Structure 1
Amino acid sequence: MSADSADAPTPPTTDSPAPSADSDLSGAPAPSEFVRLLRAQRVWDTELPDFAPVAAPAAPLPLFEQWFAEAVAAGQVEPHTMSLATADAGGLPDVRTVMLHGADREGWHFASHAGSRKGRHLAARPYAALGFYWPAQGRQIRVRGPVTVAPPEVAQADLHARSAGALASALVGRQSEVLDSYEELERASDTAWDRARREPDAPAPSWTVYVLAPDEVEFFQGDARRRHVRLTYRRREDGTWGRDLLWP
């Protein structure tokens, strides 16, 4: 650059407007009220338990049962609810919250109507993933594997072991179908409640129990210093379990 050009005045530019009331000093848009509210939320605002993976059992089920009992003792709200992820015939994913109905050596059990969206997904692609989140202790559990259908008698026994409301809901059926009006649901629900009270053993043929036999289970323990512990169990071909720690 020459001396003349160095002394020349810099022409004004229009590429960098002054920050407006809707932006910060960097020129970036100011956060919206929603974003401010979002950033103000606390994460794990409680004392988190320790987790020593070297002391974990050889199989995931005993550890799941232990963590579930500890979640209940810690006052975790609805620890038996979980996210269920499935995919349709084209591979598009979906997720919803459902209730755990049991966990044993066969797998993790849940139920729904065979004609529901999740039921259709599992008929087309019998593989799913489950996710438990227990913020009272900063814990997550992820389970995934193939899904099978339990015998009909198991499904009916499961249904009739639950409340009259659960039976009435099952008797309404038609889950995931288009509903023309809420009044139609009210009429069908009233009819189903009447039948559930009169016939506590009434069958709901579409009610189905599904069993996810895990081939992978991950236990996540949060840490206040972000040194989260992730312990993954993977089923070997001989049916035993291998264990690995994962970077958080």
Structure 2
Amino acid sequence: MSDSLRRRLRALPDFPADLPSFDPATAPADPVALFLDWFEHALDAGVPQPHAFSLATATATATGLVSSRMLILKNLEPASSGATAGVDFGVWQFASTRTSRKGRELTANPHAALNFYWAALGRQVRVVGEVSVLSAEASAADWEERPGADGQANPQWQLYALHPTEVEFWQASGDRHHIRHRYVL
């Protein structure tokens, strides 16, 4: 069975033939500006759920067990501090329940990576950094703004902010010479 599966996996196409071009030499100095440009392109291309990302976290134990799950970007605000030479890495907001596995891992080890993947465009954006908790008021407001909110409060709902130290843009290429463009704080 594994030989058959291996052959089937190898035969699948990696990316569509008509990928957008990307020249890092023309990229803005600000990773937030580039993300918003790519995000708008994903919206215009009809990419489903372009605000969805995989959140990777790890335990604080010596084994550092890693887990990931899909969440949605709640907001992207300018960083109030930490901008270097006019470059803003932004504050990337997401939410989860404090008592969930994600919430417990972020309490024990407040570092995470977000990975946006837009397959139809052959694009990924990876954002890595430290995570902080936002206020109870901001968390409650986020809960109330959720689709289907029924007026019932959820005291375990937590709005988080990721403060990046690295943002990497990845563009697939048909010739397999994929392009990586990294911003490091």
Answer yes or no: same fold by TM over 0.5: yes
Give the % identical residues: 44
CA distance in 2, matches of 1:53, 1:228: 12
Are the aligned partners of 2:74 and 2:93 in contact in 1 as well (CA < 8 Å)? yes
Which structure is larger by alpha-carbon Rg, 1 or 2? 1
User: What is the aligned partner in structure 1 of residue 99 from structure 2?
Assistant: 115
1:36 and 2:20 correspond: no
Q: Secondary structure at the match of 2:120?
A: coil
Cα distance, 1:120 vs. partner? 0.5
User: What is the aligned partner in structure 1 of residue 69 from structure 2?
Assistant: 96
Gaps of 5+ in 1: 1-29, 168-195, 236-248
CA distance in 2, matches of 1:143, 1:161: 25
Gaps of 5+ in 2: 80-90
CA distance in 2, matches of 1:54, 1:222: 16
CA distance in 2, matches of 1:66, 1:159: 28
**Greater share of strand residues, 1 or 2?**
2
Cα distance, 1:104 vs. partner? 1.7
Are the aligned partners of 1:44 and 1:138 in contact in 2 as well (CA < 8 Å)? yes
Cα distance, 1:100 vs. partner? 1.2
Question: Which of 203-212 and 46-55 deviates more?
Answer: 46-55
1:232 and 2:182 correspond: yes
Are the aligned partners of 2:17 and 2:174 in contact in 1 as well (CA < 8 Å)? no
State the TM-score, normalizing by the size of structure 1.
0.66
User: What is the aligned partner in structure 2 of residue 126 from structure 1?
Assistant: 110
Find 2:170's aligned residue among 200, 210, 220: 220
Cα distance, 1:160 vs. partner? 1.0
1:182-201 pair list within 5 angstroms: 196=150, 200=151
Q: Secondary structure at the match of 1:79?
A: coil
Are the aligned partners of 1:75 and 1:136 in contact in 2 as well (CA < 8 Å)? no
Find 1:143's aligned residue among 113, 121, 127: 127
How large is the Cα RMSD of the aligned pairs? 1.4
1:198-217 pair list within 5 angstroms: 200=151, 202-217=152-167
Q: How big is each residue's C-alpha offset from its partner over 1:154-211, in whole Å with a ceiling of 9 and x where there is no partner?
A: 11111111211xx3xxxxxxxxxxxxxxxxxxxxxxxxxxxx2xxx2x2111100010
State the TM-score, normalizing by the size of structure 2.
0.88
Find 1:61's aligned residue among 32, 44, 47: 32
Runs of 4+ in structure 1 deviating by more than 2 angstroms, as ranges, are 30-37
Higher relative contact order (CA 8 A, sep 6+): 2
Q: How big is each residue's C-alpha offset from its partner over 1:120-146, in whole Å with a ceiling of 9 and x where there is no partner?
A: 000011000111111111111110000
In structure 1, what residue type is equivalent to 2:77?
D
User: What is the aligned partner in structure 1 of residue 82 from structure 2?
Assistant: none
Are the aligned partners of 2:92 and 2:161 in contact in 1 as well (CA < 8 Å)? yes
1:13-28 pair list within 5 angstroms: none
Q: Secondary structure at the match of 1:215?
A: strand
